[in-house]
């Protein structure tokens, strides 16, 4: 616990000079008046302190108008410390109020470590505390992510006979919430009520925000309703917090109900309120509702900002309405909002999604022409678009352009390019990029390794794939089930059945659990080798291992049995698939149509109209 030294620790009759001498000796010996468990990084390098008597009033440079002024947070930390040392040497000493103001000025400069250290020195020199100075200390400790120390300070307040106020509780509750200690925050909130302190709107907002950040929207709504029952008056911040959490939970209609409620209560929604719900509607693809809400927003004289327009542009692009999105972006300026990098990036992404790369590049030109510098996301979007269009030379040209514009590629940039190169059959070029990425100081992640492994395996470069796996082990990067499944599939492609089976068996020894994709790969590979019985065993083993076969599992095994001319088992599996409410995919159905003319079992099955209908549901 944070402990404060009592005023009498050094003796009530100790002279000011003796105290200074003792402190100076302690500093020279490296001894500071802090508890053993106090975080050492909170200490700062103390200035040398003279022992000469001083009775003059402390002063800072004239332009700052003294330590108690509203402008004192503009002074340098050196000046502030010098002023503090003068204060404690004054005779008579300034009041605790002045010391509190001084600490507050240090905290306002975000010099939290220094404020905490000075607080402890106040104890050493017998300067008493009041609720204000201790609230400053609590706030600084919370800002430094030492909320446990901050809580112990409140405990010390009670021992000193200083009553915590609403600010004390609110600061601690906020600190606990910021560290994810929601249960403790709610407990302290309840203690606040039980001790007779009336929670204010800040108290409620802090708890509600903490619960929402922790994903507990239901409990946040309960606290909200409790606030109303206790006579508390929620404000726009309260409503915005609840609305934001509901939208993140995809409960946009419930968020709209809260919007209506706040309007009915005379609490005007602001641009944040509308932006949050607009984003919620766009995330669900409900653009008609988003448009309606936008009109309502303007009708209530809430002026849309750049964020509002960006939400609409992004939402329209994701729904394939890029032309409409571009029209919205072009009206921004006349509505008082300027397009920014996010606006242009959303438009470029929209064009890239629809393979309209020339239009995307035009947007880049407009962006630069408007004085808006493209960022890393801009280039990553365009590179991804070119890669999907298999225009790899243009994608690589953009990578070179990035260095010309002093933009540093990240792992996303390189991974996107590597995947594009692998998809067009150029895995060795992808490997060169991988090496370039590593030499630039970027650490490859599992995604980067997965892309390369997949590229090598699909194009028959198994030796390169195994070298890469070895390199991962040397770098102490543990392969996951995705990497192993890629390797297993690669072995099947290369006809290395035993190696594939060995890799699967090795999973449990490495503490890696196969997933449904792994089983599907094994089933498909075994069927390709004509091992129908083993494939069927794996299919059943899936359920034993807790994985229910999905639509892909059924289609893979049905196609395999049809290819291996085992129509009877295939029909049984189709019945099971229909019973699980899965449907045949286009490949399975085409195989059935092809076999219908010369396979009697399939022919009888296809003539069964009821089954035929079910297959196409």
Handedness of CA 298, 303, 308, 309 (dihedral sign): positive
| Torsion of the alpha carbons at 65, 71, 77 and 81, rounded to the nearest 10 | 50
Query: Helix 392-404 and helix 376-388: axis angle, to 10°?
Result: 170
| pLDDT score recorded for residue 30 | 39
| pLDDT score recorded for residue 18 | 38
CB 172, CB 153: distance < 8 Å:
no
Please tell me the distance from the alpha carbon of residue 121 to that of residue 157, in angstroms, as a whole number.
17
CB 386, CB 357: distance < 8 Å:
yes
| pLDDT score recorded for residue 25 | 44
- Cβ atoms within 10 A of the Cβ of 148, count? 16
| pTM for this predicted structure | 0.73
As a whole number, mean pLDDT of residues 57-84 equals 48
Peptide bond into 95 cis (omega under 30): no
Q: Does the structure show a pLDDT above 70 at 110?
A: yes
Residues 6+ apart with CB under 8 A from 86: 54, 56, 58, 59
| pLDDT score recorded for residue 400 | 93
Q: Does the structure show a pLDDT above 80 at 616?
A: no
| pLDDT score recorded for residue 19 | 34
Q: Token match 């402890």: residue?
A: 120
What is the pLDDT confidence band of residue 208, given thresholds at 50, 70 and 90? Answer: very high
Handedness of CA 149, 152, 153, 156 (dihedral sign): negative
Please tell me the distance from the alpha carbon of residue 370 to that of residue 38, in angstroms, as a whole number.
53
pLDDT in tens, 286-309: 999 999 999 999 999 999 999 999
What is the pLDDT confidence band of residue 51, given thresholds at 50, 70 and 90? Answer: very low
Q: Could you tell me the CA-to-CA distances from 315 to 122, 274, 277, 446 in Å, in that order?
A: 57, 15, 12, 31
| pLDDT score recorded for residue 77 | 63
Q: Does the structure show a pLDDT above 50 at 72?
A: no
| pLDDT score recorded for residue 221 | 95
Q: Pick 120 or 273 by higher pLDDT.
A: 273
Taking phi first (over 0 means left), then psi (-120 to 50 degrees means alpha), and beta for anything else, what does residue 562 get?
alpha
DSSP labels for 432-495?
Answer: HHHHHHHHTTPPP-HHHHHHHHHHHHHTT-HHHHHHHHHHHHHTT----HHHHHHHHHHHHHTT
Q: Does the structure show a pLDDT above 90 at 278?
A: yes
pLDDT in tens, 358-368: 999 999 999 99
Q: Pick 369 or 41 by higher pLDDT.
A: 369
DSSP labels for 35-68?
Answer: -TTS-GGG---PPP-------SPP---GGGT-TT
| pLDDT score recorded for residue 81 | 72
Q: Token match 């794996």: residue?
A: 538
CB 212, CB 244: distance < 8 Å:
yes
pLDDT in tens, 214-267: 899 999 999 999 999 988 899 999 999 999 999 999 999 999 999 999 999 999
Averaged pLDDT of the chain: 83
Q: Does the structure show a pLDDT above 70 at 473?
A: yes
Of 482, 429, 483, give the one whose Cα is nearest residue 459.
429
Q: Token match 């302290």: residue?
A: 188
Q: Pick 205 or 114 by higher pLDDT.
A: 205
Q: Which domains does the chain have, with CATH numbers?
A: 1-164 (no CATH), 478-549 (1.25.40.10), 551-617 (no CATH)
Please tell me the distance from the alpha carbon of residue 188 to that of residue 172, in angstroms, as a whole number.
8
As a whole number, mean pLDDT of residues 263-292 equals 95
Q: Could you tell me the CA-to-CA distances from 246 to 105, 255, 277, 302, 392 in Å, in that order?
A: 39, 6, 9, 22, 42
| pLDDT score recorded for residue 80 | 67
CB 372, CB 339: distance < 8 Å:
yes
CB 550, CB 557: distance < 8 Å:
no
pLDDT in tens, 129-140: 899 989 999 999
Q: Does the structure show a pLDDT above 80 at 613?
A: no
As a whole number, mean pLDDT of residues 447-476 equals 88
As a whole number, mean pLDDT of residues 567-576 equals 85
CB 383, CB 417: distance < 8 Å:
yes
What is the pLDDT confidence band of residue 607, given thresholds at 50, 70 and 90? Answer: low
């Amino acid at each position: 616990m944070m402990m404060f030294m009592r005023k009498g620790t050094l003796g009530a009759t100790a002279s000011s000079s003796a105290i200074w001498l003792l402190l100076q000796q302690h500093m020279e010996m490296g001894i500071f008046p802090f508890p053993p468990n106090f975080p050492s990084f909170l200490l700062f390098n103390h200035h040398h302190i003279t022992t000469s008597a001083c009775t003059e009033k402390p002063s800072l440079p004239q332009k700052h108008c003294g330590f108690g002024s509203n402008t004192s947070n503009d002074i340098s930390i050196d000046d502030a410390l010098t002023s503090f040392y003068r204060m404690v040497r004054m005779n008579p000493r300034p009041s605790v109020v002045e010391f509190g103001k001084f600490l507050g000025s240090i905290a306002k400069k975000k010099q939290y470590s220094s404020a905490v250290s000075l607080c402890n020195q106040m104890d050493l020199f017998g300067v008493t505390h009041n609720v204000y100075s201790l609230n400053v200390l609590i706030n600084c400790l919370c800002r430094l992510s030492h909320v446990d120390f901050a809580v112990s300070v409140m405990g010390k307040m009670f021992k000193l006979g200083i009553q915590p106020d609403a600010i004390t509780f609110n600061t601690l509750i906020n600190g606990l919430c910021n560290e994810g200690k929601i249960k403790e925050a709610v407990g302290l909130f309840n203690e606040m009520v039980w001790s007779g302190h009336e929670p204010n709107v800040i108290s409620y907002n802090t708890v509600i925000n903490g619960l929402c950040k922790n994903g507990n929207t239901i409990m946040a709504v309960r606290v909200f309703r409790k606030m109303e029952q206790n006579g508390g008056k929620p404000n726009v911040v309260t409503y915005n917090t609840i609305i934001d959490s509901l939208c993140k939970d995809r409960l946009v209609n419930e968020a709209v109900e809260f919007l209506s409620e706040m309007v009915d209560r005379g609490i005007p929604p602001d641009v944040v309120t509308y932006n949050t719900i607009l984003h919620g509607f766009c995330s669900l693809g409900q653009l008609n509702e988003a448009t309606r809400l936008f009109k309502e927003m303007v009708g209530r004289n809430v002026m849309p900002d750049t964020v509002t327009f960006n939400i609409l542009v992004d939402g329209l692009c994701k729904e394939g309405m890029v032309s409409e999105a571009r029209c919205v972006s072009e009206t921004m300026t006349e509505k008082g909002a300027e397009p920014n990098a996010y606006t242009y990036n959303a438009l470029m992404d929209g064009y890239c999604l629809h393979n309209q790369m020339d239009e995307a590049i035009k947007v880049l030109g407009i962006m630069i022409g408007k004085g808006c510098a493209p960022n890393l996301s801009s280039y990553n979007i365009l590179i991804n678009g070119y890669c999907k269009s298999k225009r790899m030379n243009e994608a690589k040209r953009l990578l070179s352009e990035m260095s010309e514009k002093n933009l540093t590629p990240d792992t996303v940039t390189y991974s996107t390019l590597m995947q594009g190169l692998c998809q067009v059959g150029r895995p060795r070029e992808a490997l060169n990029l991988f090496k370039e990425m590593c030499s630039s100081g970027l650490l490859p992640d599992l995604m980067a390794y997965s892309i390369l492994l997949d590229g090598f395996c699909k194009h028959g470069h198994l030796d390169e794939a195994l070298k890469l796996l070895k390199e991962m082990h040397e770098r102490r990067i543990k392969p996951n089930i995705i990497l192993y499944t890629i390797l297993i599939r690669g072995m099947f492609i290369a006809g290395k059945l035993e190696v594939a089976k060995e890799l699967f068996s090795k999973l449990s020894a490495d503490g890696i659990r196969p997933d449904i994709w792994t089983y599907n790969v094994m089933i498909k590979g075994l069927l390709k080798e004509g091992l129908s019985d083993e494939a069927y065993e794996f299919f059943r083993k899936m359920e034993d291992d807790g994985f229910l076969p999905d639509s892909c599992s059924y289609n893979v095994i049905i196609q395999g049995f049809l290819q291996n001319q085992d129509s009877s088992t295939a029909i049984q599996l189709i019945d099971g698939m229909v019973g699980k409410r899965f449907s045949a995919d286009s490949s399975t159905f085409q195989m059935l149509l092809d076999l219908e003319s010369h396979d009697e079992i399939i022919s009888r099955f296809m003539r069964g109209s009821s089954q035929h209908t079910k297959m196409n549901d």
